[in-house]
Amino acid sequence: MKKISLLILFIFLSAYLIFIFFKIKFNKTLPYINNNNFYVEGKKYHPIVLNYIVSYQTDGKDYWGTPTVDYGTFYHSKAASHKALSAQFDLIKELGFNTIRIVGIGEPNIDKKLGTLSFRLKRSETTDTLIYLDNVHAYKNYFNAIDDLLKLAQQSGLHIILLTKLSSNHVSSNYHLKKITQRFKNNKTILAIDLFNEPLYFDSPEKEKKEVRTIVKKWQQTVKNADNNRLTTIGLEGVREIFRWDPNILPVDFISYHPYEYEPEQVRNEIYWYGKYTKKPWIIGETAIPSNNDSITYTQQAQFARKTMQQTFNCGGIGYSWWQYKDVNWGKYHANFMGVMNQIGQTKTNSGKIVDGTPKPIVNEFKDKGITKVVGMEARGFIFGGAIASRLNAGFVPVRKKNKLPYKVLTESYQLEYGEDRIEMHIDGLSNNDVVLIHDDLLATGGTAHAALRIVERCGVEKVYFSFVCDLEFIDTPNKRVLNEYKPHVLVKYSN
């Protein structure tokens, strides 16, 4: 009898340990944050996010998500909507984004008095209907529409930040948050649930800090009780909102900041402030400047994206988001032309799908260049080069002065002001399949960097990029003119 009892106990413990093992193993595949980094499938993940508006639509029988009509087209059927979403999601991925923040379909209207949740759905270009989320059937249709949306995103290789809309005054709102979290529990396509968008703008009256913390704590507990591994965030816009909804007291997994440029350099200054004073992980959840290539040029828009994205990661942010996918017609220049796509012409994806609109030059700032190796120049190039390689999940290859490397080397000479010197790289440092970024601290005459380029090319590398901390633009040499053809990435330029 005693042996039987021990056997039963052994089987029970074994089953329990197996359950725990697979639970941990499974949970590790869900997005999480550790040491101020996102992880997806156990690998570091740097969200480059595009905000995208999805409307909820019906034909009276079926229900689905569709691109907002503000992007220029009304789709009359579920099939047409899904075809458009699939093509646009594919293009978004090709443009360099890995995550979409879905706006619209996750945000029901909440009656301020009754607390009822509803959506106004378009049935045609001229008619609509009101749907209440107050029964099992309505929720089934609604969740199926979101489920289809998540599947389309997953097929395009994208993750989703799902924006919700909540009210602290009504139990129905918290019930809705619980249901949506439970319904999509363990869904790996969802990177996070965005609990609320810009509360001072979209919620009233203003609340004191103590009340704010209590409200967000309740929302957070609702999510964690339904899906303990689900990440949460909240979107804050403007300094005034940040002081009222203090990010350091909000019990969410990370903060999403929404800075906009109302004064010169406002966004980069605010990003510096976020990095200095935020005591938890944070991303830029929205930012943009408009451009129709007239009063603000496409070049200026691209430069803004480049500088603010650099500032975000330099100041400790762990993700960057642009508002929004496509230009709209909302009546004001500032809101109309923030898209990375305009509404002119058509674009074909790599798989041949057709998308209405044309990408603006800004998209080049988001594209993953596929860098596999960072070549750092002795000695100050090692300082940033190693960090850049770590950020890009790329290998680091040192280029050193002569006679400092222990193995067989490739050597190139370059001219000094009063003589000649040479640099060396290990012969097996690169292969012809590598995509290489050559990095150094200073671009002056370009002699050293050009010598490094010649070594890299001798390895059969075909795709090369350059980055420098400083460029002395007033120095002009034949070597430097060659390097400038590669459009090097430079943080600081000195013209005199």
Q: Give yes or no: 412 in active site.
A: no
For the chain, what percent of residues have pLDDT higher than 90? 74
Q: Which of 213, 380, 454, 458 is catalytic?
A: 380
Provide the pLDDT for residue 322: 98
Count the residues in the chain: 496
- Of 96-100, 160-164, 414-418, give the lowest mean pLDDT range: 414-418
Provide the pLDDT for residue 205: 74
Provide the pLDDT for residue 44: 85
Assess whether pLDDT exceeds 70 at residue 440. yes
Provide the pLDDT for residue 144: 97
Q: Domain segments of the chain: what residues?
A: 32-365, 373-494
Q: Which of 208, 263, 417, 485 is catalytic?
A: 417
Provide the pLDDT for residue 405: 92
Tens digits of residue pLDDT in 253-281: 999 999 999 999 999 999 999 999 999 99
Assess whether pLDDT exceeds 50 at residue 41. yes
Assess whether pLDDT exceeds 70 at residue 5. no
Provide the pLDDT for residue 330: 96
Which CATH code of 3.30.360.10, 2.60.120.10, 1.20.1600.10, 3.40.50.2020 fits the domain covering 373-494? 3.40.50.2020
Which letter, b or e, does each residue of 87-120 get, where b requires 16 or more Cβ atoms within 10 Å of its Cβ?
A: bbbbbbbbbbbbbbbbbbbbbbebeeeeeebebe
Assess whether pLDDT exceeds 60 at residue 17. no
Q: Do 256 and 285 meet the contact criterion of CB atoms below 8 Å apart?
A: yes
Higher-confidence position of 241 and 290: 290
Q: Give yes or no: 485 in active site.
A: no
Tens digits of residue pLDDT in 396-433: 999 999 999 999 999 999 988 777 889 999 999 998 88
Higher-confidence position of 287 and 8: 287
Q: Give 25's pLDDT tier (boundaries 50, 70, 90).
A: very low
Query: Which CATH number is 32-365 given?
Result: 3.20.20.80
